[in-house]
């Protein structure tokens, strides 16, 4: 039944074309729409290149590659969405623009067509409010690169019906993705819980405890994370990462937990975005030498412990506030950002009392509310319970 659903994707950037690739690979007819003809041509060329590489690696054969690309219609006309069962929007992260687009889409599609946004940080309720039939609007947040990353966050708005939620989730599940259900709150699961990975690393640097290379070495080699925070920020782009932090900070009514960093702000202002333009926290120009970390194990352990307890505290608070289930929070962090272990599971391993002690020490030391321990963590320690 699912294969019969025609899938519309709006926006032919890397995210949109990635989603189109997934849907076409799962044998759906797909319409990829972008008003910019150059973007469409680029998306088509890029998809053909990706599929050719998969043929080369013997992941698929030539016939499969041809049928995947054959199922995608590249169009500059939004009216081509008229017979789609679902349309997924993957355009610029600006609320007014998305609202305008959803108002327009509603006039084109059938009454039972689901309208979804791939936003990573905007309110789904706000996007849905632009529609007369707001109960068919939902958030479906893929991670970059969409064909490779297994996780997809499913975000119903307060207006979304159960039927819309269940249909959307079943469809994405059928695409062999790992779906997690999350409340429509700033940053959803991943972008909310991951904030201290960047924020606390920046604060450790600003306090003069360690440099970028040492913090990255500690988190990767001792913490088991796939990438250090500064390498990851350079990979994402300081322009993008800083903006997300600032958005989340404002959306949480300036809760000190999400306070942005002047260090990152200055890098953004200097145009040091990271890998994409050759200079970020590290220098990526040709022949540039990578700074050597200070491989002091004791210092490294101190860095890892501090960042990890902050991540755990954020995950505990997300559970306390019913943002998602315990399993979905842990699944989101392992499948969405490749954490070595689910954070709540990790908390049980360390010992909740130990986690609470470290947070209380930081809270007392700095007198800063960013370190306030989650109520849930305090209750579990008091009642001698664990997350699992």
Considering the entire predicted model, what is its pTM?
0.94
Residue range(s) occupied by CATH 3.40.50.720 in the chain: 2-181
Question: Would you call 172 exposed, middle or buried from its count of C-beta atoms within 10 A (0-12, 13-18, 19+)?
Answer: buried
Q: In the beta sheet, which residues pair with residue 279? A: 274, 283
C-alpha 111 chain-centroid distance = 30
65, 118, 120, 134: the catalytic one is 120
Query: What does the pLDDT average to over 328-341?
Result: 96
Mean pLDDT for 376-388 is: 98
At 147, is the secondary structure helix, strand, or coil? coil
Segment 188-247, tens digit of pLDDT: 999 999 999 999 999 999 999 999 999 999 999 999 999 999 999 999 999 989 988 998
Task: Give 251: exposed, middle or buried? Use CB within 10 Å, 0-12, 13-18, 19+.
Answer: middle
Three-state SS sequence of 74-93: EECCHHHHCCCCEEEECCCC
Distance between CA atoms of residues 360 and 378, nearest Å: 10
153 is catalytic: yes
* pLDDT tens digits, 267-293: 999 999 999 999 999 999 998 999 999
- Is the pLDDT at 3 greater than 90? The verdict is no
Residue-level pLDDT at 121: 83
CB neighbours of residue 223 within 10 Å? 19
Torsion, Cα 340 344 345 346, to 10 degrees, reads 60
Give Cα 257 to chain centroid, integer Å.
19
Helix count and strand count (H, E) for the chain: 17, 8
Tokens linked to 55: 């043929």
Options 89, 106, 153, 200, the catalytic residue: 153
pLDDT score of 9 more than 70: yes
- DSSP calls for 278-296: TBSSSB-STTPPPPPP---
What value does the mean pLDDT of the chain take? 96
Domain 192-382 top-level CATH class: mainly alpha
Check residue 2 and give its pLDDT: 73
**Residues 6+ positions from 367 with CB-CB distance below 8 Å:** none
Percentage of residues in the chain with pLDDT exceeding 70?
A: 100
Which of these is catalytic: 117, 123, 134, 191?
A: 191
Q: How far apart (Å, rounded) are the C-alpha atoms in residues 245 and 258? A: 7
How much is the pLDDT for 296? 97
Q: Catalytic residue, from 118, 141, 238, 374: name it.
A: 141
pLDDT at 176 over 90: yes
Indicate whether 84 pLDDT > 90.
yes
Q: Which helix (H) or strand (E) holds 154?
A: strand 151-156
Sign of the torsion angle spanned by Cα atoms 239, 240, 242, 244: positive
Tell me the pLDDT tens digit for each residue of 112-130: 999 999 998 899 999 999 9
Nearest-CA neighbor of 183 among 57, 324, 285, 296? 324
What is the rounded radius of gyration, in angstroms, for the C-alpha atoms of the chain? 22
CATH class, range 2-181: alpha beta
Residue 348: the pLDDT is: 98
Q: Where in the chain is the domain with CATH 1.10.1040.50?
A: 192-382
Q: Decide if pLDDT at 249 tops 80.
A: yes
**Above 70 in pLDDT, residue 328?**
yes
- Per-residue model confidence (pLDDT) at position 273: 96
- Quote the CA–CA distance of 188 and 143 in Å, as a whole number: 13
pLDDT score of 1 more than 70: no
């Amino acid at each position: 039944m699912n294969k019969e659903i025609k899938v519309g994707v709006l926006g032919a950037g890397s995210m949109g074309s990635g989603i189109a690739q997934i849907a076409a690979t799962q044998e759906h007819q797909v319409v990829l729409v972008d008003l910019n003809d150059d973007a469409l041509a680029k998306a088509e060329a890029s998809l053909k290149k990706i599929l050719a590489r998969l043929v080369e690696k013997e992941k698929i054969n030539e016939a499969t590659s041809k049928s995947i690309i054959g199922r995608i219609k590249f169009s500059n006309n939004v009216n081509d969405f008229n017979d789609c069962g679902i349309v997924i929007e993957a355009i610029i992260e600006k609320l007014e623009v998305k609202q305008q687009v959803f108002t327009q889409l509603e006039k084109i599609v059938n009454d039972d067509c689901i309208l979804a946004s791939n936003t990573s940080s905007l309110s789904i309720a706000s996007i849905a409010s632009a529609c007369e039939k707001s109960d068919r609007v939902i958030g479906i947040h893929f991670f970059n690169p969409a064909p490779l990353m297994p996780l997809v966050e499913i975000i119903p708005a307060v207006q979304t019906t159960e039927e819309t939620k269940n249909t959307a989730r079943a469809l994405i599940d059928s695409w062999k993705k790992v779906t997690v259900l999350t409340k429509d709150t700033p940053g959803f699961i991943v972008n909310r819980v991951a904030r201290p990975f960047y924020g606390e690393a920046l604060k450790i640097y600003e306090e003069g405890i360690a440099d970028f290379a040492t913090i990255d070495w500690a988190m990767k080699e001792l913490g088991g994370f796939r990438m250090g925070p500064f390498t990851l920020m350079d990979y994402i782009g300081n322009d993008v990462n800083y903006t997300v932090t600032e958005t989340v900070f404002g959306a949480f009514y300036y809760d000190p937990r999400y306070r942005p960093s002047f260090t990152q702000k200055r890098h953004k202002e200097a145009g040091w975005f990271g890998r994409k333009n050759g200079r970020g926290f590290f220098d990526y120009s040709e022949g540039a030498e990578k700074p050597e970390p200070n491989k002091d194990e004791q210092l490294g352990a101190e860095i890892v412990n501090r960042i990890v307890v902050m991540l755990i505290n954020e995950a505990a608070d997300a559970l306390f506030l019913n943002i998602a289930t315990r399993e979905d929070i842990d699944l989101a962090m392992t499948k969405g950002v490749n954490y070595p272990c689910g954070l709540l599971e990790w908390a049980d391993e360390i010992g909740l009392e130990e986690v609470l002690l470290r947070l209380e020490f930081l809270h007392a030391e700095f007198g800063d509310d960013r370190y306030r321990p989650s109520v849930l963590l305090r209750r579990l320690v008091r009642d001698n319970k664990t997350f699992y």
